[in-house]
Amino acid sequence: MPIFNIQFFLRPLSVIFSPFQNLFAFVLRSTSLGLLLRSPRSLAQPSASAQIPGSSTAKMATKKKIAIMTSGGDSPGMNGVVRACVRMAIHMGCDAYCVYEGYEGLVQGGDLIRKMEWHDVRGWLSEGGTLIGTARCMAFYERPGRLAAAKNMILNGIDAIIICGGDGSLTGADRFRAEWPSLLDELVSKGEFKPEQIESFKHLNIVGLVGSIDNDLSGTDATIGCYSALARICYAVDLIEATASSHSRAFVVEVMGRHCGWLALMAGVATGADFVFIPEKPSEHNWREEMYRIVQEHRKLGKRKTIVIIAEGALDRQGKKITPTMVKDLLADKNGLGLDTRITTLGHVQRGGTAVAYDRMLATLQGVEAVKAVLEATPETKTCFIAITENKIIRKPLMEAVQDTKQVSSAIERQDFEEAMGLRDAEFSEQYKSFMMTTAVQMDKEIMLPEKERMKIGFINVGAPAGGMNAAVRAGVAYCLSRGHEPIAIHNGFAGFARHHGDTPLGAVRPFDWLEVDGWASKGGSEIGTNRELPGESGMETIANLIEAYGFDALFLIGGFEAFHAVSQLRKAREQYPSLCIPMTLLPATISNNVPGTEYSLGSDTCLNELVDYCDKIKQSASATRRRVFVIETQGGRSGYVATLSGLGVGASAVYTPEEGLSLDMLAADVRHLKEVFTHDKGQSRAGRLILINEKTSKVYNAKLIADILREESHGRFESREGIPGHMQQGGVPSPMDRCRAVRLAIRCIQQLERYGRNVPNKVKADPMSASVIGIKGASVVFTPINKLEEEETDWPNRRPKAAYWLGMKGIVDILGGRPKYDAPEADLTGFKAKDVKRGIAAAA
């Protein structure tokens, strides 16, 4: 019978699993109260293991022993996997082992297979690479090597492995599992073990996690480390753009990806590159002519820089390799473009550094899911790997994904590029089309709509600025221009629309200049301004009259909860103002990620990256002084998303959110826990602790007060400080994820508006989808009618959805942070009930 049946969701952030109540209920059913209240150190204590005499001494499994190893090329986030697996295994009552140096450690055994304790993985989340090492192991390719590995596993009592690596490493693991029974038989026949010694090791369970910067395994939207590598590339390209523009130069940037163009493509989308070369999709005809035509058109428009991104495995239509030098020669040809051109090869800088927030969350939650999968596995269970689809963590058969991945390479070798693109996930193909749409604006006359179908679409940002707003506007404008629509900027939200539309010399309502907009891909903030004012506050009649006066056929809104409220007001006012009977759609963009209808909002990933980076620095300070706790106040309004996801990414000791609340009893429990932690601190490094609190968690307990309480109650045993990052959480340069998703979702939004056409008020009024919100829900990108969200899914007083996928993650933060059980705060009494209780005429219960 399975131990859990919980599904974990992300993101990313992607991450992400069903409510923690199920997990909590399981723990209560299967664990004694005494065990729950034990400290992580006590949970990690090894139990005595019986030994059977024989030629080899095997540890008899008194409880499940799970090995964790990393293999293949390193990737950021691997240490997060190891930390999550070790601590979750210990939490579930198992022994956790780490196999150092990959398969080499499994073959060599000895000190390369080490039992891990809770504190051994402290501080690993912020470390790059893999701290348990990885190495090529030719011995494991041969049966004698796998036989030695099997022997070492039995000697250590291990019958389950969690492997984080690429498709080659995971394929080797599956083969190892397939041979396992015959390897045991051979060990017995050679006298290494007696039959009774291997009885409890008859079945080997293996679960894979994909650690790869290339994002080259089919069946998952993201691999652990790919967004960290993409962040390095985008950072480098953003820097290169400055010098390219200064000197009016062209740069050819080579990135990794022998058989997969994901990094090159996403970098092209995120940075607004002029052209990309990827293995899966060579130019339809002559790449030289196509690139020449696009770059020439961009230069005619007045662009001073040219950026071409090429994957190391780029090919032409005939399967011949395209090199950066070949691209440079074409760009620099004096008889052609004649551009001053440079080549930059980023190399292994893409692989290094710490993991971004998304990869930390992905690694942590997939690690937790991997332990779950191991404990639920039966002898008949196929070897699985942990994947993510859109925002949902799921298990998939490993070898099917490996075969699909090999088919991509095979299709490229056969020059069947249509099949190669078809074998990639849907997002890959969609992003390629989005890139071509934004780089070849108005160049493909075949996709232009007839004059009568072309629309005048207003673009307006509402609420606080968020990373990705400008990328979304840029993508939407590019799509509109390519289709023949007329995109119009409404500057500074509804306030600008109502009171400054007619200003001179520049009014708030004016057309976009594509040359200017084309440079917005990597810009933070909001270039067309934004404002929290709602249309009802600006004057609904004024807004309706202006929409009619300017002849808008549709509205595209980007923003947070204020933008959601604005669409709601506009929809409700349609009965009174016929000019509002136009299609309108909202692309959520807010660091708070509190818009109903979606699990992800533009800007939330940028915010998490900024906050995780801030917390890493703070934690370094806390660790340097060894016994210090920092209480960090996060933004997010009445949504605890930012605090919870940041806590997951930095390994917080506690997270306080508005959804749960905060009480004096909780603080007292956490003070006792910190005292115990520091009492057992033996002077190791990485001893600093973090507590994260959302700004709206409590009207009384803020970061400073909590830090003061901790300092007072510590009685000199440790120190505490508060930290308030404030508006830096809104970020500077948007993250690559926010940029890429902004492009994809913005184009989807314009396509949604395009479905209605012009002058169809009755159709608009009758169709609930004419006022909608685009969102990522589970494994799908969906549009939801605003009226349904208003009535069923919105907690209006708290300005957030009634249900949130990430709420269960707080339980994982607590588990992996070693936080002991505590009593949840009492719910506040409201209304007449509160009045009657205060007067003593009703019971408080």
**β-pair type (95-99, 113-116):** antiparallel
- Is 91 annotated for ligand binding? no
User: How far is residue 770 from each of residues 79, 553, 568, 767, measured CA to CA in Å?
Assistant: 46, 12, 12, 6
The DSSP letter of residue 195 is G
- Residue 322 and residue 834: Cα distance in Å, rounded? 73
- Is 591 annotated for ligand binding? yes
- Is 628 annotated for ligand binding? yes
Instruction: Enumerate residues 6+ apart whose C-beta is below 8 A from 320.
Output: none
- Is 604 annotated for ligand binding? no
- Is 635 annotated for ligand binding? yes
- Kindly calculate the radius of gyration of the chain based on its CA atoms and give it in whole angstroms: 28
- Is 212 annotated for ligand binding? yes
The pair phi, psi for residue 408, each rounded to 5°, is -65, -50
- Is 312 annotated for ligand binding? yes
- Is 593 annotated for ligand binding? yes
User: How far is residue 112 from each of residues 59, 153, 352, measured CA to CA in Å?
Assistant: 17, 11, 24
- Residue 310 and residue 253: Cα distance in Å, rounded? 6
- Is 137 annotated for ligand binding? yes
- Is 443 annotated for ligand binding? no
- Is 213 annotated for ligand binding? yes
- In Å, the largest CA–CA distance within the chain is 94
- Is 73 annotated for ligand binding? yes
- Is 590 annotated for ligand binding? yes
Q: Following DSSP, what letter does each residue of 135-157 receive, concatenated?
A: ---GGGGSHHHHHHHHHHHHHTT
- Residue 559 and residue 603: Cα distance in Å, rounded? 10
Q: Is the dihedral of CA 431, 432, 438, 439 positive or negative?
A: positive
- Residue 842 and residue 428: Cα distance in Å, rounded? 60
Helix count and strand count (H, E) for the chain = 30, 24
Q: What tokens does 236 get?
A: 């480098």
- Is 336 annotated for ligand binding? no
Catalytic positions, please?
A: 214
- Report the DSSP beta bridge partners of residue 458: 488, 555
- Is 719 annotated for ligand binding? no
- Report the DSSP beta bridge partners of residue 556: 459, 585
Structural contact between residues 693 and 643, judged by C-beta atoms closer than 8 angstroms: yes
Exposure class string for 341-371: b at 16+ Cβ within 10 A, else e: bbbbebeeebbeebbbbbbbbbbbbbbbbbb
- Is 349 annotated for ligand binding? yes
- Residue 504 and residue 356: Cα distance in Å, rounded? 45
- Token look-up 């949504």 returns 639
| CB-side neighbour CA atoms (13 Å) of 25 | 9
Instruction: Enumerate residues 6+ apart whose C-beta is below 8 A from 239.
Output: none
- Report the DSSP beta bridge partners of residue 344: 253
- Residue 56 and residue 51: Cα distance in Å, rounded? 10
- Is 695 annotated for ligand binding? yes
- Is 214 annotated for ligand binding? yes
- Is 638 annotated for ligand binding? no
E strands, 354-465, where? 384-389, 392-397, 456-462
Structural contact between residues 597 and 775, judged by C-beta atoms closer than 8 angstroms: yes
- Is 542 annotated for ligand binding? no
Tell me, what amino acid is at 252? Answer: V
- Is 637 annotated for ligand binding? yes
The DSSP letter of residue 603 is T
Q: Is the dihedral of CA 255, 256, 261, 266 positive or negative?
A: negative
- Token look-up 């019978």 returns 1
- Is 169 annotated for ligand binding? yes
Q: What tokens does 613 get?
A: 């980076």
- Is 403 annotated for ligand binding? no
- Is 594 annotated for ligand binding? yes
Say whether 289 sits in a helix, a strand or coil: helix
- Is 817 annotated for ligand binding? no
- Residue 352 and residue 129: Cα distance in Å, rounded? 7
Cβ-based neighbour number of residue 760 at 10 Å: 16
If we measure between CA atoms, which residue out of 244, 234, 217 comes closest to residue 349? 234
- Is 569 annotated for ligand binding? no
- Is 129 annotated for ligand binding? no
- Is 253 annotated for ligand binding? no
- Residue 216 and residue 205: Cα distance in Å, rounded? 24
- Is 618 annotated for ligand binding? no
- Is 136 annotated for ligand binding? yes
Query: How many Å separate Cα 194 from the centre of its chain?
Result: 48
The DSSP letter of residue 829 is P
- Is 750 annotated for ligand binding? no
Q: What tokens does 552 get?
A: 């808008």
Task: Quote the Cα angle for 324-737-748, to 5°.
Answer: 100
Q: What tokens does 461 get?
A: 């940002």
Residue numbers in the known binding site for beta-D-fructose 2,6-bisphosphate are 532, 590-594, 628, 635-637, 695, 721, 727-730, 799
List residues forming the annotated binding site for Mg(2+).
167
For the annotated binding site for substrate, the residues are: 212-214, 249, 256-258, 312, 342, 348-351
Q: Which residues are annotated as a binding site?
A: 73, 136-137, 166-169, 212-214, 249, 256-258, 312, 342, 348-351, 532, 590-594, 628, 635-637, 695, 721, 727-730, 799
Summarize the annotated binding site for ATP as residue ranges.
Answer: 73, 136-137, 166-169
